[in-house]
Amino acid sequence: MEKILTDKVKEAVFSLYNRQVDEKQIQLQKTSKDFAGDITLVVFPFLGFSKKKPEETGKEIGNYLQENVKEITGFNTISGFLNLVMDNKYWTDLFGKMVNDRDFGFKKKGSLNKTILVEFSSPNTNKPLHLGHIRNNLIGYALSKIFEANGYRVKKVNIVNDRGIHICKSMLAWQKWGEGITPEKAGKKGDKLVGDFYVKFEQEYKKQIQFLIEKGANKDKAVRSAPLMKEAHKMLRRWEDGEQEIIDLWNRMNSWVYKGFDKTYKSLGVSFDKIYYESDTYKTGREIVLSALEKEILFKKEDGSVWVDLSEEGLDEKVLLRSDGTTVYMTQDLGTAFQRYNDYEFFRQIYVVGNEQNYHFQVLVLLLDKIGYKWAKDIYHLSYGMVELPEGKMKSREGTVVDADDLISEMIDTARDMSEELGKLDTYSEKQKEDIFRIIGLGALKYFILKVDPRKNMIFNPKESIDFNGNTGPFIQYTYARIKSVIRKATEKNIKIPDKTDVRFEPNKKEIELIKLLAEFPKIVQDADFQMTPAVIANYCYELTKEFNQFYHDFSILNAEDDETRIFRLQLSEVTGRIIEKGMGLLGIEVPERM
């Protein structure tokens, strides 16, 4: 309909004012609930053609559309907005297509023949995943599914930061205080064990700094000259020189971490198509830097360090190789971007990385462009906000972060307690119950995080997230389970739900409103892609759930007054459940058939 209306508006403007109008000037949107109508046309762009007031221009275009589009039965103008009223038959015909179209709202995978890379997670191998990583992973995974639903080929990629000074801190601490401990001996996940030694390093490092300050050193000098930090930098140089003892220790401790990460990813329900490692890509980055230095795109300072000058681009100078030849994060990201383009020739590469890295990615794009990579403009940094707890920020170095595994377990435990209190799963086996508890707990966690626009900072409140009422995952899941219950009862009564609608049936006003909301789903999926935010999907699912619950409360389904009404309402329920399942699926959230 949007395409039909766009063409007819172009016709109207030409017929009424003898002017050609660009499609970009035609703005169609859903009519506000405060006004009568279904689709609103913004009239202001046409006032230069009509030379008339907004209301008069809107009335003239409205009359033309009503005469030439059979689905339009009326209109009204409010200031510069033309609100069009669609015939009920338009909505029932559209609903008939929904009933028969199992892929309603989705484009065929890969139909656009363009590849989007989505980088998310990007963990360091010196600590376990935490709440911040959970937000990152959920955003990246949901965006990947949304892009896929819009017809793109999508590759989910991860870059593991497995080298650098922070990794050496954990390694050095294990050497000094580990006494040969392993995850098996400790009875602990490998990523958590390594994280403990990272915290231990920071604790001992702070003691050394304080000792030096008490001996008369200023703070800056104490930070630089503390023995532990000097040892860590020496270890990094030994690693980059390929010293076997250090490489062996690095491989051993990283293997512990990877096993731990894999368990967390599996619990969270996310996966990757390819994992890149900084220990590989930094070498490519170094080659790119040295090549650009030869071409005098970069410059070398007296101490031997290599820099890029971005002052003409409004930034400053940025180091790419230190004076001792070691690389920095930017060097690694150069290599990673280059390798990914060679691997996939992406249409777009999206980095899901926190907003504290805004400057870093601004430099990365400018640097790639300066070196001569035309695809630099196809890189986009989805800068998401921080996630905090009601009690405030988390700090990895102090060991005060919310561990991802602990949070997932806590959410499942809370779902178990609440479900058992309701007592609706008493007839289920323990295995069935545990699966439902998992689905509810993870659904609560994922939905609470994804309903907030990624670009905003947020506070995660576990208790609020798992409420069975309000804008929560469990509320939507419960409604889906309610729909499936109605469908099961219909089956038990031998009522078949056909895949075609009765063209003679006339829905009531509430049913039409629900159909209108269902009809928005394809546009919602497109908007989530365009805006790059899963929150569009999440909040649509909530609005659809609310609308269905009002319908369910006001009208009987199985005990409807006649067979035609019963069948139509079952079809309406079935399509609603299907859209809820598809929408929540885009968020990586399962919906249980029973709760």
**Mean pLDDT within 14-37:** 91
- Structural domain includes residue 551: yes
Q: State which of 388, 422, 446 marks the end of a domain.
A: 388
Nearest to 534 by CA among 467, 447, 457: 447
Q: How many domains does the chain have?
A: 3
Q: Is residue 555 situated within a structural domain?
A: yes
Positive or negative CA dihedral for 57, 58, 62, 65?
positive
Same domain membership, residue 287 and residue 425: no
Alpha-helix residue ranges (DSSP H) falling in 18-130: 47-50, 54-68, 88-100
Distance CA 225, CA 242 (A): 25
Distance CA 354, CA 356 (A): 5
Alpha carbons 122 and 160: distance in angstroms, whole number: 5
Domain boundary residue, one of 353, 388, 423: 388
Residue 398 lies in a domain: no
Span 176-208, pLDDT tens digits: 999 999 999 999 999 999 999 999 999 999 999
Q: pLDDT grade, residue 139 (50/70/90)?
A: very high
Residue 126 is predicted with a pLDDT of 93
CATH of the domain at 428: 1.10.730.10
Is pLDDT at 397 greater than 60 in this prediction?
Answer: no
Run of H or E including 162:
none
Domain shared by 239 and 363, yes or no: yes
Interatomic CA distance for residues 275 and 566, integer angstroms: 51
Which of 354, 388, 422 delimits the end of a domain? 388
| Segment 230-276, tens digit of pLDDT | 999 999 989 988 999 999 999 999 999 999 999 999 999 999 999 99
- In the sheet where 274-277 sits, what is the strand order? 274-277, 153-160, 115-119, 348-354, 379-384
Would you state the pLDDT for residue 183?
97
Average pLDDT over every residue of 357-380? 96
The tokens describing 328, both together, are: 């920095």
Give residue 394's pLDDT.
46
Residues 376 and 443 occupy one common structural domain: no
Q: What pLDDT band is residue 465 in, cutting at 50, 70 and 90?
A: confident
Tens digits of per-residue pLDDT, 38-92? 999 999 999 999 999 999 999 999 999 999 999 999 999 998 999 999 999 899 9
491 and 531 together in one domain:
yes
Asked whether residue 306 is domain-assigned, the answer is yes
Cα(157)–Cα(74) distance, integer angstroms: 50
**282 plus 311 within the same structural domain:** yes
Torsion angle of C-alpha atoms 242, 247, 250, 251, degrees rounded to 10: 120
Residues 234 and 163 occupy one common structural domain: yes
What is the distance between the alpha carbons of residues 288 and 336, in angstroms, rounded to a whole number?
Answer: 11
Quickly count: other Cβ atoms within 10 Å of residue 94's Cβ: 17
User: Is 115 within a domain?
Assistant: no
Do 207 and 65 share a structural domain?
A: no
User: What pLDDT was estimated at residue 396?
Assistant: 45
Backbone angles phi, psi at 506, to 5 degrees: -115, 105
Is pLDDT larger for residue 544 or for residue 33?
Answer: 544
Q: Residue 22, Cβ neighbours under 10 Å: how many?
A: 8
The pLDDT of residue 393? 52
Average pLDDT value for residue range 537-549: 97
- pLDDT tens-digit readout, 406-442: 999 999 998 998 877 776 777 888 899 999 999 999 9
Is residue 191 situated within a structural domain? yes
Convert the pLDDT of each residue in 469-514 to its tens digit.
889 999 999 999 999 999 999 999 999 999 888 878 899 999 999 9
Band of pLDDT at residue 463, cut at 50, 70 and 90: confident
Q: Could you tell me if residue 96 is inside a domain?
A: no
Calculate the alpha carbon distances from 197 to 178, 260, 401 in Å: 8, 15, 15
Q: Are residues 496 and 570 in the same domain?
A: yes
Q: Give the residue-averaged pLDDT of 385-405.
A: 69
Same domain? For 124 and 254 the reply is yes
What value does the mean pLDDT take over residues 348-374? Answer: 96
pLDDT-above-70 percentage for the chain: 98
Q: How high is the pLDDT of residue 392?
A: 52
> pTM (2 decimals)?
0.91
Q: Are residues 204 and 257 in the same domain?
A: yes
Q: What is the pLDDT of residue 33?
A: 84
Q: What percent of the chain has pLDDT over 90?
A: 84
Residue 443 and residue 507 in one domain: yes
**130 and 21 in one domain?**
no
Distance CA 448, CA 452 (A): 7
Mean pLDDT of the chain: 93
Ramachandran category for residue 81: left, alpha or beta (phi over 0 → left; psi -120 to 50 → alpha): beta
Residue 399 has pLDDT above 80, yes or no: no
Statement: residue 132 has pLDDT above 60: yes
Phi, psi angle pair for 208, to nearest 5°? -65, -40
| Structural domain range at position 573 | 404-586
Q: What digits encode the pLDDT tens for the residues 436-460? A: 999 999 999 999 999 999 999 999 8
Which CATH number is 70's domain given?
Answer: 3.30.1360.70
